[in-house]
A and B are shown apart, each in its own frame.
Chain A
């Protein structure tokens, strides 16, 4: 069964450094998402992306964050200047359509640790 693939599985970065998290959505999916889960807390929506632009973003997704689909397969999340509070598990998800009938499929996540 097709899967959403995320790399790396674990990223350790010094505070203030830039980090790029990578995702390969399921190939025929058109809608892409990033979520994050701080340890012990709920999974939170960050941003959704369709047709090469952001469709919706949460309050968390401030100017430090950006997303890009640099080619036909990858979907990336960039954090420009990381903070300690950015430490979390980051999940990429994709769906075929935006209709309510279509589930979002999640990757295994990237654990981001900021030192």
Chain B
């Protein structure tokens, strides 16, 4: 059964710092990995999706990588800003039955201090 773990649970950094959020998964037979942002009391905003055949994806200041062999994904945020403060979730897509469902980690709560 797929398990997704995110470390650290919380992270506080000063504005402008580059940072890395970690995600690990137990079953390397994932089809893709999706990173989300969740603001307090809000829904999930999809940030990046990496297919199993890819190693990384970039969007603006965000870069996500995927290493299936080691069961790890990272989300790199460059030049962090206070507006980046949120909880970041990673989720792996496993194909179970006829259609896949996302298996989520518990998230990393990021706080960027001005």
Contacts and interface: CB of A to CB of B under 8 A. Distances in A.
A65 interface: no
A6 to B, nearest CB: 8
Interface string A86-115: 000001010000101101111111010000
B36 A106 contact: yes
A101 B32 contact: yes
A43 B104 contact: yes
28 contacts: A4-B43, A33-B101, A33-B102, A41-B106, A42-B104, A42-B107, A43-B102, A50-B98, A55-B99, A56-B97, A56-B99, A56-B100, A56-B101, A93-B44, A98-B100, A100-B32, A100-B51, A100-B93, A100-B100, A101-B49, A101-B51, A103-B46, A103-B49, A104-B102, A108-B42, A108-B43, A109-B42, A109-B43
B13 interface: no
Interface of B: 31-32, 34, 36, 41-46, 49, 51-52, 89, 91, 93, 96-107
Which label, helix, strand, loop or mixed, suits the secondary structure of the B interface? Answer: strand
B35 to A, nearest CB: 10
B94 to A, nearest CB: 10
Contacts of A48: 99-101
